[in-house]
Structure 1
Amino acid sequence: MKTSLRLPLAALAGLLFLTGCPDKKPVETSETSASAPPKLTKAPVFNADSAYAFTAKQVAFGPRVPNSKAHVACGDWLVAKLKGYGLKVMQQPFEAMTFDGTYIHARNIIAQYQPQAARRVAIFGHWDTRPFADNDKQKKNAPMDGASDGASAVAVALEMARVLSQQPDSLAPNVGVDFIFFDAEDWGHDATTQADVKDQLAGSGTDSWCLGSQYWAKHLLPANYKAEYGVLLDMVGAKGGTFTREATSRERARGPLDKIWNTASQLGYSDFFRFEDTDAITDDHVYTNQAGIPTLDIYHYNNSGDFFPAYHHATTDNMSIIDRKTLKAVGQTVLQTLYVE
């Protein structure tokens, strides 16, 4: 996940976005949402074993760094997998320059379930990996697997797509679902770990993080795309994963956020989905919100005070930290929420 910068970025809707560990601890509250949770309707079962296998498959390609063979191979596999589920698949190739002056070839991948449905919900994630583990104490220039940071989110979305594709029309949700995987999200400049490296994008009007979502927001695909809301998944597979109500999510997508957190509570997943309010971060949801899609961010918040967990941008973000219980909690909650619509 992006933004390890500790300096404040531009304000959005009166909120301060932080790119990493904030200068002060987020405000944490224990109150629950005032809105009454809806009665849950029957939803399909999210298979955590399948999501785990999808995570492992992505990691097996090697680091999915743009311009690499592993990146191309994994992208081709994702496209084939989504087409195999009968979804309408589109690819959005683009070129970009990263903060260190590297020119990359990248692509966003979009897959639509029930493309004819007027009401739509977007499930966002990023499928690339950071090219260097700059937060690693010993191997800061090493490539990283991105098992939780990237692969787990895509895996949860893939399993949702697989399950939905198996449902007869009589058991389909009342909304169409768009699975949108952004590329080049994680090749950003971290002012803390890379203070000696110049950010060549500074002052250009382009954030060094989230290049894929920035491109998509300016070139919507499908054209004129609209959705009732979006859910950004990021770092949703690690053991002990906890997810809080991030400030931009509360500000821009409070209704869907409450719906998801209340659904998680009804399913018995409150240990994962905490009724705690935390500060804003810069992630792909900043740009999907700017594109007019009210989007909330589900990401692993570290309650120890370091904001992001220790594996963030480190070589320890590998399959050893992936936990089926976390994948299940996130996948079943989001899948169930689609059936509340």
Structure 2
Amino acid sequence: MNFRTLRFPLIALAGLLVLTGCPDKKNTETATTDAPAAPAEAPLPKAPVFNADSAYAFTAKQVAFGPRVPNSKAHKATGNWLVKKFKSYGLKVMEQPFEAMTFDGTYIKARNIVAQYQPQAARRVAIFGHWDTRPFADNDKTKKNAPMDGASDGASAVAVALEMARVLSQQPDSLAPNVGVDFILFDAEDWGHDDTTQADVKDMLEGSGTDSWCLGSQYWAKNLIPKNYKAEYGVLLDMVGAKGATFTREEISRAKAAFALDKIWNVAARLGYSDFFRYQDTGGITDDHVYTNQAGIPTIDIYHHNGNGGDYFPAYHHATQDNMSIIDRKSLKATGQTVLQALYVD
């Protein structure tokens, strides 16, 4: 999946102590799995239906291209398909090409992709994700150098964004949300240095001022497109399609975008998806939302976190098991319907 500088050292973020890896469960997690009692509320506004079968097909299509590693033919083909798909829905599409060096000294050509629904709207919401895959399954027990399908880690989030774009594009003006929506897909997010699995490999970006993870969002945050971009809030999707997915209330999300976090979790509870969206506070991680928050977009991170002790991330994380066999329409539905419905809630 993306992310993640994943699991280990502590980093300071605007005075906030954040874990890039496995947080100390005793200190950073609050085990409250039930939604707090709330007074009776008015019915949720009418919203379109998110089609989980369509999102599943979009996930499978990306995986069928092959591992989406920057500089590869599969990566280029996937990017071209994404651009074409968003354009077919009538969205305004912009590409942001950039070049970067990865932690192992590889020079890559990459591109961020931005697709705008209702670009004329003054009020905006950003839906973020990453569309690349990690070049090696370093967390795999037997195939540490094998490329990854990234079915949940990357493809599922992009699939949810595509299905949201497709559904929104079909709505008449009378059923359109009161906000414009920007689908912003970052590249080169997952080619980072893992301090645990790659302890014997030098991080050539260490001390450079550039994090080895999230290269695309770091570039976008410093070179915003659209220019001077602003949004009321952002939702980062990452690893949202696997069977048994559970999402917890991550620390940076709580600190930087509590109002958006509460909104999404409340909508999920009202839709009956509290088994997925757990009312459990967990430690911070390094993901693209670190840099979108730095760019002034209050952003939450929705990602599969075990939340029950043991390993911080699920077993398929950065392993060859992250393939279509783990993708579940129920997880895609819970994520997509919740985020789509939230666009209609002021």
TM (normalized to structure 2)? Answer: 0.96
Residue of structure 2 equivalent to 1:14: 15
Residue of structure 1 equivalent to 2:186: 182
Of 300-309 and 290-299, more deviation after overlay is shown by 300-309
The residue matched to 1:281 in structure 2 has which SS? coil
- The Cα of 1:24 is off from its aligned counterpart by 4.1
Residues 151-162 of structure 1 mapped to structure 2, 5 A cutoff: 151-162=155-166
- The Cα of 1:3 is off from its aligned counterpart by 2.0
- The Cα of 1:303 is off from its aligned counterpart by 2.7
- The Cα of 1:27 is off from its aligned counterpart by 1.4
- The Cα of 1:128 is off from its aligned counterpart by 0.1
- The Cα of 1:21 is off from its aligned counterpart by 1.6
Of 3-12 and 59-68, more deviation after overlay is shown by 3-12
Residue of structure 2 equivalent to 1:288: 292
1:66 aligned to which of 70, 93, 97? 70
1:119 maps to 2:123: yes
1:324 aligned to which of 298, 310, 329? 329
Residues 309-320 of structure 1 mapped to structure 2, 5 A cutoff: 309-320=314-325
1:81 aligned partner, one-letter code: K
1:49 maps to 2:48: no
2:29 aligned partner, one-letter code: V
2:157 aligned partner, one-letter code: A
Residue of structure 1 equivalent to 2:268: 264
1:307 aligned to which of 306, 312, 335? 312
Q: Is the 8 A contact 2:5 2:286 kept in 1?
A: no
- The Cα of 1:35 is off from its aligned counterpart by 7.5
Residue of structure 2 equivalent to 1:28: 30
2:139 aligned partner, one-letter code: N
Q: Is the 8 A contact 1:218 1:291 kept in 2?
A: yes
- The Cα of 1:62 is off from its aligned counterpart by 0.1
Q: Tell me, in whole angstroms, the C-alpha distance in 2 between the residues paired with 1:35 and 1:191.
A: 42
Residues 132-171 of structure 1 mapped to structure 2, 5 A cutoff: 132-171=136-175
Q: CA 1:101–1:280 in 2, change beyond 3 Å: closer, same or farther?
A: same
1:16 aligned partner, one-letter code: L
The residue matched to 2:113 in structure 1 has which SS? strand
Q: Tell me, in whole angstroms, the C-alpha distance in 2 between the residues paired with 1:24 and 1:264.
A: 25
Q: Tell me, in whole angstroms, the C-alpha distance in 2 between the residues paired with 1:44 and 1:302.
A: 30
1:277 maps to 2:281: yes
**Per-residue CA distance 1:158-208 (angstroms, 9 max, x = gap):** 000000000001100000000000000000000000000000000000000
Q: Is the 8 A contact 1:4 1:21 kept in 2?
A: no
**Per-residue CA distance 1:297-317 (angstroms, 9 max, x = gap):** 000001342111000000000
Q: Is the 8 A contact 1:6 1:23 kept in 2?
A: no
Q: 5+ residue gaps in structure 1?
A: none
**Per-residue CA distance 1:272-297 (angstroms, 9 max, x = gap):** 00000000000000000000000000
Identity of aligned residues (%): 82
Residue of structure 1 equivalent to 2:4: 3
The residue matched to 1:107 in structure 2 has which SS? strand
Of 306-315 and 27-36, more deviation after overlay is shown by 27-36
Q: CA 1:48–1:212 in 2, change beyond 3 Å: closer, same or farther?
A: same
The residue matched to 2:80 in structure 1 has which SS? helix
Q: 5+ residue gaps in structure 2?
A: none
